[in-house]
Amino acid sequence: MRFNSVLFALIVTSLAGCVEVWENSQATTIVRGDEAVLWSADLVARREAATLRRLRLKIESDDDIATPGYDNVPSAQDHWMSCRLAQDDGTFVAGPVAIDASNYVEFNNVTFDLFVLEADKVKVICQSSTLAVESGTPDRYAGVLENKNDIEFEDTNGDVVQRINHVTGLGTYVDVLDNGDLEIAFDGPPASDMAAGDQGVLIAEYTAYGAYEHIAMDQLYFHLDGHIDIADSVEVIYTQLDGNMISQDVYHDANGDFNLSNVDALADADGELIQVYADISVNALPGQFLNVTLNADRTRAYGLTSGARPNLIPASGIRSNNRTVF
Does a structural domain hold residue 143?
yes
Instruction: For residue 302, list its beta bridge partners.
Output: 216
Does a structural domain hold residue 6?
no
CA neighbor of 141 nearest in space, from 206, 73, 200, 87 = 73
The dihedrals phi and psi of 279, each to the nearest 5 degrees, come to: -95, 125
Does a structural domain hold residue 273?
yes
Q: 282 and 190 in one domain?
A: yes
Distances (CA, A) of 244 to 17, 265, 267, 274: 69, 9, 13, 13
Distances (CA, A) of 88 to 23, 85, 93, 119: 13, 10, 11, 10
Q: 190 and 161 in one domain?
A: no
Domain boundary among the residues 150, 177, 204 is at 177
Q: 185 and 168 in one domain?
A: no
| pLDDT given at position 137 | 56
Q: 169 and 30 in one domain?
A: yes
Average pLDDT rounded to a whole number, residues 46-64: 85
Q: 302 and 289 in one domain?
A: yes
Average pLDDT rounded to a whole number, residues 88-98: 93
Q: 256 and 140 in one domain?
A: no
Does a structural domain hold residue 305?
yes
Chain Cα centroid distance, residue 278: 37
CA neighbor of 173 nearest in space, from 27, 33, 32, 67 = 27
Q: 261 and 229 in one domain?
A: yes
Residue length of the chain = 326
Average pLDDT rounded to a whole number, residues 235-256: 90
Domains of the chain: total: 2
Domain boundary among the residues 128, 155, 177 is at 177
Name the DSSP letter for residue 242. T
Q: For position 195, which CATH number holds?
A: 2.60.40.10
Does a structural domain hold residue 12?
no
Q: 172 and 23 in one domain?
A: yes
Q: 186 and 114 in one domain?
A: no
Distance CA 51, CA 173 (A): 27
Q: 53 and 90 in one domain?
A: yes
Residues 56 and 97 sit within 8 Å (Cβ to Cβ)? no
Distance CA 275, CA 234 (A): 10
Q: For position 130, which CATH number holds?
A: 2.60.40
Burial class of residue 102, CB neighbours in 10 A (0-12, 13-18, 19+): exposed
Distances (CA, A) of 42 to 74, 130, 210: 30, 31, 42
End-to-end distance of the chain based on CA atoms, in angstroms? 71
- Could you tell me the pTM of the whole model? 0.57
Average pLDDT rounded to a whole number, residues 301-307: 78
Q: Reply yes or no on whether the pLDDT at 14 is more than 60.
A: no
- Of 7-16, 153-162, 207-216, the least confident: 7-16
Q: Reply yes or no on whether the pLDDT at 169 is more than 60.
A: no
Q: 168 and 25 in one domain?
A: yes
- The distance between the two most distant Cα atoms of the chain, rounded to a whole number of Å, is 99
Print the domain residue range for 85. Answer: 18-177
Does residue 189 have a cis peptide bond before it, meaning omega lies within 30 degrees of 0?
yes
Distance CA 92, CA 95 (A): 8
